[in-house]
Amino acid sequence: MNDPFTVLGVGDDAGDDQIKQRYLALVRAFPPDREPERFQAYRAAYEAVRDQRIRLEAKLLRTNDAALSRLKLAVVAPSRPVCGRATKATVTALLLEGIDRACTKVSGSSEL
């Protein structure tokens, strides 16, 4: 799936109201009976970012390349004699670190 923020034409710092207004404007411009493919793309994008928690998850999965890279290195690190799989604790720590960073970004913004 394409980036939902790009599909809707809003920034990743947009609020609930701005996203909803943009979605409704796009649906009015491209109704499902005339442009069903576009409508489905807009609907999927809106569902992916319709509230703050879902938006936070979308941003985390899209932008936290550092945590995902470290996770990849932990899983396939050739220097380790172990089976090459990350432990549950390692995966949990990396995901929590990413969520913590994303929450810090959100709480530092003027949106809240």
Q: Tell me: do 108 and 70 sit in the same domain.
A: yes
> Comparing C-alpha atoms, which of 49, 54, 59, 61 is closest to residue 20?
49
pLDDT of residue 93: 81
**How high is the pLDDT of residue 101?**
80
- Whether residue 106 is predicted with pLDDT greater than 90 in this model: the reply is no
Q: Which of 28, 51, 74 is the last residue of a domain?
A: 51
Same domain, 39 and 9: yes
pLDDT tens readout for residues 7-62: 899 987 888 899 999 999 999 999 999 989 999 999 988 988 888 877 777 677 66
Report the pLDDT value the prediction gives residue 22, as an integer from 0 to 100: 94
6 and 46 in one domain?
A: yes
Is 99 inside any structural domain?
yes
Total domains, the chain? 2
- The residue range of the domain holding 92 is 64-112
Within this chain, do residues 4 and 43 fall inside the same structural domain, yes or no? yes
Phi/psi at 35 (5° precision): -130, 70
What's residue 49's pLDDT?
83
pTM across the whole model: 0.52
Q: What is the pLDDT of residues 58-94, one digit of tens each?
A: 677 665 555 556 666 666 655 555 556 777 787 788 8
Q: 31: helix, coil or strand? A: coil
pLDDT band at 98 (very low <50, low <70, confident <90, very high): confident
Q: Is residue 59 part of a domain?
A: no
Query: Does residue 112 carry a pLDDT above 50?
Result: no
Inside any domain, residue 56 = no
Residue type, 80: R
**Is residue 58 in some structural domain?**
no
